Structures are given as structure tokens and as C-alpha cells.
């Protein structure tokens, strides 16, 4: 089936803004949320900066019964889902329970909860380990808890493809809607800013070790030195366009096209897969390169990754052929949560006719990109392309358009 799928609600939990209004105002204002970690003492670690969410009060936003059984990542996801449903004007209690589903992405699961239970095991014994550990750490826990909280009994699942996972989850939601489910809660939130999660991230060898928040994460900059990780993301409400119209919803836009590839084996001499993912997304949307008004880039923040992405964009669109932005320079890379946050920013950009800026970077002249720097750029926008990559060779691209 090829039914139109639209996004009707957005819920954001980001390092530079809690809630849609605060996030968008901060993003257009160039406000970043990167700083020295305060959730634990990072002094002894080689990387000490992250995009942290401050001011999140789970005990004020969620029922107390949920707190003992959930990790911080799930609390953020539950609140983002609540906000997205409210933004969509969708009351799950008034909708058929088997006509609603939940498909999210995850790169890490509940690391902080797991760390606490391991500490209890090692210091006190197995009888002190919470029974909730059996699921609180799991990649699929956000999908499960959102579906339980909202009585959603339709398709449910989780996609695990690191930084590309958020787009992959939205694409899977689109598939399920085209198969007949009217509404899917989708997107992703990740959060693993705890010592156990931090050493796991450090093991990849890709984190920036700079202590300067304004100069630590510099995609497409000659001084790129790795990325700053963060916590948060966005939850979106995806709906069948006809069903959304019937209930009077106001769509932000349509999920028009999607493409995904896997990079070839390192050393094979074959081209990375990002260009093919872009071309597949454009073909799926029945759009040409000239139809795209803005690209939200993945922004690896390391020279090799930046070169691959710049080459893919310039090959498809021509040198400086389309405006490119990396708003995640204000939040850090949020793993599976990063691309859904870019997707939310893209829909807001289409709504308001303005491209959010990329901050802090001095672009390398070797990359032939028209980067939107420092200040928002007003522009007539009908379409956007969002790019996402995950460690291990995952590439995803999604085209969206105004409706």
C-alpha cells in the first residue's frame, strides 16, 4: 500500500530545550546544551563533556508507580510521548486500542538502571536486585512502557541501528500504517550518561576529548576531533493521512520517502552507502534532487565521516547546491534520538519557513557545502531531507514535505 503518512504530533526532550516550544526557540537562537557532565564526576575520564538535559523532573511529570521500574531514558521517552500525543490532539482512551502502535529505536537501553542493580548485586547480594531489572535495561522497554501507559495494542517493536535507528523506526511506523494501523507513536530517545554508559561510549574511541563546549563537536570543520554525546531525542505521532483528517488533526507534514543502506566491508574499495540511501529516499518520495530545499546532515564530527557525507551530498545535489544544516551541534549526538530530533526540527522549519543554524564551526573549504552558519536562514521551504548514520555502517535518509 502507498497511503500517505503524516506527522501530527511532536514531543521533544533535548539538552537545549524541554518541550517543543523551548527547544525550537533555543535552536533558532543558537543556544547549545553542551557542558561538563554533572550527573557524575567525570574528572578521571578522557572525555568530560556531554549534552545533558537539565530541569527534567520525572516525579512531577509521571505517576509515582512508574519511577521504581524505569530508567531515566524511559522516563524521558514517556514524557516525550505524552507531549507528542497532546500536540497531536490524540487521546488514546478515545481511539481503538488495536489501531494504535508503538515503534521506537534504541542504541543503549537503560544503562543507568542497570548500573544501579549491578552495584546492588556486587555490594549487597542478589536478593537486593530489583525484579524490574529484567526489562528496565532492555532496548525495547520504551516501546513497551509507552504502549502500556496508553493502552496501545497494535504493532509494537524496536529498531537497533545506532544513530540511524531513529529514522529506521519512523520508516517502520510508516510501513505499519500503510498495512492498516491508523496511528503509531514513533521516534527515539537515548540516555546513558552514567559511569557504566560512559565507559561503553569511550570504548568506541570516537568521543571528543576537548574541554571547551564551543569547540568540542565541530562537524565539517578542519578541527573536527570527534563528537560530544548527549541524551534525549524526539517522539512523533505518525498517522494515516485520511484518518488524521477525519479526526481534524493538523499535520506538520508528510513522511514522503525513505532509503537505507549498509556500508561495504572496510577495505573493500567500494563506495560507502550514504549516497545510495539518499537516492533511494528521493526515488521513494518521487522527488528530484532539485526538489529538496534543505538537508539536515548527520554531522559525524570526524574528518573521515565528514568527508563521506560531504561527498554524498555534493554528488547528489552538486557543489553547494542545497542548504545544509547540523542543529545537533547544539545538543551533541543523541544516538538513536538524534535523527528524530532533526526530523522534528525539519517539520518546524517547514512550518515556519526558516532553516535552523549550525553553530560553533569554521567550515573546511574542502567540503563543497552551503552550510547555514550562526544565524537562522529564512527560506521558502516545502521539502527537507534528513540524514542519519550509525556506527557499524548503517545509513538512512528520509524526505519529508509540507502538506
CATH code assigned at 306: 3.40.47.10
Q: Are residues 168 and 291 in the same domain?
A: no
Q: What is the pLDDT of residue 346?
A: 98
Do residue 238 and residue 312 come from a single domain?
Answer: no
CA atoms within 13 A on the CB side of 187: 35
Task: Give yes or no: residues 88 and 172 share one domain.
Answer: yes
Q: Looking at the structure, do residues 65 and 211 belong to the same domain, yes or no?
A: yes
Q: Are 399 and 171 in contact (CB under 8 A)?
A: no
Note whether 276 and 200 are same-domain residues.
Answer: no
184 within some domain? yes
**Among the listed residues 190, 278, 197, the one whose alpha carbon sits nearest the alpha carbon of residue 235:** 190
Which of 222, 245, 268 terminates a domain? The answer is 245
Q: What are the beta bridge partners of residue 323? A: 370
Whether residues 239 and 262 share a domain: the answer is no
Beta bridge partners of 358: 373
Name residue 14's beta-bridge partners.
17
Distance separating alpha carbons of residues 144 and 105, to the nearest angstrom: 12
- Check whether residue 34 and residue 88 sit in a common domain: yes
Q: Could you give the 3-state DSSP secondary structure of residue 308?
A: helix
Q: What is the dihedral angle through the alpha carbons of 294, 10, 183, 82, rounded to the nearest 10 degrees?
A: 160
In-domain check, residue 252: no
Q: Are residues 220 and 264 in the same domain?
A: no
**Do 191 and 263 reside in the same domain of the chain?**
no
Reading the chain (403 residues) residue by residue, the pLDDT tens digits are 588 999 999 999 999 999 999 999 999 999 999 999 999 999 999 999 999 999 999 999 999 999 999 999 999 999 999 999 999 999 999 999 999 999 999 999 998 998 998 889 999 999 999 998 889 889 999 999 999 999 999 999 999 999 999 999 999 999 999 999 999 999 999 999 999 999 999 999 999 999 999 999 999 999 999 999 999 999 999 999 999 999 999 999 999 999 999 999 988 989 999 999 999 999 999 999 999 999 999 999 999 999 999 999 999 999 999 999 999 999 999 999 999 999 999 999 999 999 999 999 999 999 999 999 999 999 999 999 999 999 999 999 999 999 9
Contact 98, 147 (CB under 8 A): no
How many beta carbons lie within 10 A of that of residue 153, not counting itself?
A: 15
Residues 86 and 167 in one domain: yes
Output the pLDDT for position 289.
Answer: 98
- Whole-number Cα distances in Å, 381 to 185, 350, 377, 391: 26, 5, 11, 31
| Structural domain that includes position 208 | 3-245
Q: Angle of helix 303-317 relative to helix 274-285, nearest 10 degrees?
A: 40
236 and 187 co-located in one domain? yes
The C-alpha cell that represents 158 in the structure block: 524496536
- Distance CA(85)–CA(236), nearest Å, equals 8
Task: Residue 239: name the closest of 285, 184, 284 by CA.
Answer: 184
Q: Does the reported pTM lie above 0.85?
A: yes
Asked if the structure places residue 250 within a domain, the reply is no
CB 7 within 8 A of CB 186: no
Give me the number of domains the chain comprises: 2
The predicted pLDDT at position 3 comes to: 86
Give, for 231, the enclosing helix (H) or strand (E).
none
- As given in the structure block, the three cell numbers for residue 398 are 528520509
**pLDDT, position 336:** 97
C-alpha cell at 219: 562537524
- Boundary residue ending a domain (245, 278, 309): 245
Q: Check residue 44 and report its DSSP letter.
A: T
Q: Which pLDDT value is given to residue 1?
A: 56
Q: What is the pLDDT of residue 144?
A: 97
Residues 211 and 139 in one domain: yes
Q: Are residues 226 and 204 in contact, defined by beta-carbon separation less than 8 angstroms?
A: no
* Residues 326, 387 contacting (CB under 8 angstroms): no
Whether 251 maps to a domain, the answer reads no
Residue with cell 563521506: 308
Q: Which of 198, 214, 245 is the last residue of a domain?
A: 245
Amino acid at each position: 500500500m502507498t497511503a500517505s503518512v503524516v506527522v501530527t504530533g511532536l514531543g521533544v526532550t533535548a539538552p537545549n530545550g524541554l518541550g517543543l516550544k523551548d527547544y525550537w526557540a533555543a535552536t533558532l537562537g543558537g543556544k547549545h546544551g553542551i557542558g561538563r557532565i554533572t550527573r557524575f564526576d567525570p574528572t578521571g575520564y578522557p572525555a568530560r563533556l556531554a549534552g545533558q538535559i537539565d530541569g527534567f523532573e520525572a516525579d512531577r511529570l509521571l505517576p509515582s508507580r512508574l519511577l521504581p521500574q524505569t530508567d531515566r531514558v524511559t522516563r524521558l521517552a514517556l514524557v516525550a510521548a505524552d507531549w507528542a500525543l497532546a500536540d497531536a490532539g490524540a487521546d488514546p482512551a478515545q481511539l481503538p486500542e488495536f489501531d494504535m502502535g508503538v515503534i521506537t529505536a534504541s542504541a543503549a537501553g537503560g544503562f543507568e538502571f542497570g548500573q544501579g542493580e549491578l552495584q546492588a548485586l556486587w555490594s549487597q547480594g542478589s536478593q537486593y536486585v530489583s525484579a524490574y531489572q529484567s526489562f528496565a535495561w532492555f532496548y525495547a522497554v520504551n516501546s513497551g512502557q509507552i504502549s502500556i501507559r496508553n493502552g496501545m495494542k497494535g504493532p509494537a517493536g524496536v529498531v537497533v541501528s545506532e544513530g540511524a535507528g531513529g529514522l529506521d523506526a519512523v520508516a517502520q511506523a510508516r510501513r505499519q500504517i500503510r498495512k492498516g494501523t491508523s496511528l503509531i507513536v514513533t521516534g527515539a530517545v537515548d540516555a546513558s550518561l552514567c559511569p557504566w554508559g560512559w565507559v561503553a561510549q569511550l570504548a568506541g574511541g570516537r568521543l571528543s576529548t576537548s574541554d571547551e563546549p564551543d569547540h568540542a563537536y565541530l562537524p565539517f570543520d578542519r578541527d573536527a576531533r570527534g563528537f560530544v554525546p548527549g541524551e534525549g531525542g524526539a517522539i512523533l505521532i505518525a498517522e494515516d493521512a485520511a484518518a488524521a483528517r477525519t479526526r481534524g488533526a493538523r499535520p506538520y507534514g508528510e513522511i514522503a520517502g525513505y532509503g537505507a543502506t549498509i556500508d561495504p566491508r572496510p577495505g573493500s574499495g567500494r563506495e560507502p552507502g550514504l549516497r545510495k540511501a539518499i537516492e533511494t529516499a528521493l526515488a521513494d518520495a518521487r522527488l528530484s534532487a532539485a526538489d529538496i530545499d534543505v538537508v539536515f546532515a548527520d554531522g559525524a564530527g570526524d574528518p573521515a565521516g565528514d568527508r563521506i557525507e560531504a561527498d554524498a551530498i555534493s554528488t547528489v545535489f552538486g557543489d553547494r547546491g542545497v542548504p545544509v544544516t547540523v542543529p545537533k551541534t547544539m545538543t551533541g549526538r543523541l544516538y538513536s534520538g538524534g535523527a528524530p530530533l532533526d526530523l522534528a526540527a525539519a517539520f518546524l522549519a517547514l512550518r515556519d519557513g526558516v532553516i535552523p543554524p549550525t553553530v560553533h564551526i569554521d567550515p573546511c573549504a574542502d567540503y563543497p557545502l552551503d552550510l547555514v552558519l550562526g544565524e537562522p536562514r529564512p527560506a521558502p521551504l516545502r521539502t527537507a531531507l534528513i540524514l542519519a548514520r550509525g556506527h557499524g555502517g548503517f545509513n538512512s535518509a528520509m524526505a519529508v514535505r509540507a502538506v
